[in-house]
Amino acid sequence: MTEVKMDILKDLIQCQESPCVSIYMSTKAVHKGEFKKLEIEFKNLLQEVEEKLEKNWDFKQRDVDKFLDEAYTLAADSNFWQEQKEGLAVFISPDRFEHFKLAVDTFDKSHVSYSFNLKQLIADLKDNQQYYLLALSPNHSQLYQADRNNIKEISVEEMPASIKDYLNLDEAAAEKYQSVNTAGGSSVFHGQGAASDDDNEDLIHYLKEIDRVINQELKESDSYLVVATDDSLFSFYKNINNYDNLLADNLSGNSRQMNKKELREKSWQIVEPHLHDYLNKDKERYLELQATEKTADNLEDIVEASHYSKIDTLFLNKRAEKDGIFVEEENEIKTMNNNKDYDLYNFAAVETLINGGEVYPLESDEMPADGDVLAIFRY
């Protein structure tokens, strides 16, 4: 089982083999130890899929059994049901079988179509954003990439490993940079003797170089940056920083004394309250533009706009569905009443993602205005 990442999402979008089965299920019952209940609920969803395959795709029982074999094996795995998070997503096609344990709760739903239904998976991706963590001290610097569940070191060739390396100091000269504290409103060093103006100047040059390298490394990113360092050094770094998405709170303490698990868990506590900052800013932008031609709330208009790369930001009720197809030659939606129909809300979400737009699958009461689908246009 792999984590949900944008490259995984894009790979699922590209699925060419049909039928494509998408199954979502809430697994919150695992917290109550109701493992058998989860197994039964999953089998019920598989039964729904069986009926759809037989009715709409002309599958015989032997075809169904073969197609869903891995899914039923998973259903019978008691250990699997004891190791759930908040939700489960399963994707099945003739050439693939994948499942994802989700960090956010989902609602039970099965889909069978010519493409995967990814609305709930996109919602999970939004609530498990990647961010960067900079472990910073005069004698150590290291950049990490992390999310709710993972952390890994990022090798940055130009980043100074320490002020000793940056200034080519010997061991004795480097001792005075062991720590930094604030006294009387100014930062001073602790170590072999009192700090001098030259020492403070050296520290500033060191931090400026780290800031330059960080900005070069993250220039294509809009992810948050958390700094793990003591409070006084962080106040110094904040005044030097030029990275737009540096968070105002630092992970306070000596990062060298924390293992990766501690760094991830403590930094995630800082990042998590900011998960919806982007959403709230985009909601405000929608409301500001609502009375203009830069927005839309009609499904047919939005489906067409998504196909032609016109959508910058899309909000949709993740529980809303409407079957149909978009006929490009006529620029309109039609209902076929057969297996060619697909969920048009999912179509708009996927087309927007493919074309570089932002997608927010939400509950109905989280939408920025009335309607099940709302869009901000690029032009």
Per-position pLDDT tens, the chain of length 379: 567 888 899 999 998 899 999 999 999 999 999 999 999 999 999 999 999 999 999 999 999 999 999 999 999 999 999 999 999 999 999 999 999 999 888 999 999 999 999 999 999 888 888 999 999 999 899 999 999 888 999 999 999 999 988 988 766 666 666 554 444 344 444 444 444 556 688 889 999 999 999 999 999 898 999 999 999 999 999 999 999 999 999 999 999 999 999 999 999 999 999 999 999 999 999 999 999 999 999 999 999 999 999 999 999 999 999 999 999 999 999 999 999 999 999 999 999 999 999 999 999 999 999 999 999 999 9
Query: Tokens 């800013």 map to which residue?
Result: 281
Closest alpha carbon to 136 in 21, 220, 214, 242: 214
Q: Residue 96 forms beta bridges with which residues? A: 93
The dihedrals phi and psi of 87, each to the nearest 5 degrees, come to -150, 165
Q: Which domains does the chain have, with CATH numbers?
A: 6-126 (3.30.960.10), 131-274 (3.30.420), 277-377 (3.30.1330.30)
351 contact partners, CB below 8 Å, separation of at least 6: 303, 306, 307, 311
Instruction: Report the DSSP pairing between strands 332-334 and 323-327.
Output: antiparallel
Q: Distance (Å, rounded) from C-alpha 46 to C-alpha 27?
A: 15
Where b means 16+ CB within 10 Å and e means fewer, 333-370 reads: beeeeebebbbbbbbbbbbbbebebbbbbbeeeebbee
| DSSP strands (E only) in the chain | 20-26, 87-93, 96-102, 109-113, 131-137, 140-146, 151-154, 179-183, 186-190, 225-229, 251-252, 295-296, 311-317, 323-327, 332-334, 342-343, 358-362, 373-377
Cα separation values, 251 from 127, 204, 217, 226, 248, Å: 21, 20, 21, 7, 10
What is the pTM for the complete model shown?
A: 0.81
Q: Distance (Å, rounded) from C-alpha 35 to C-alpha 77?
A: 10
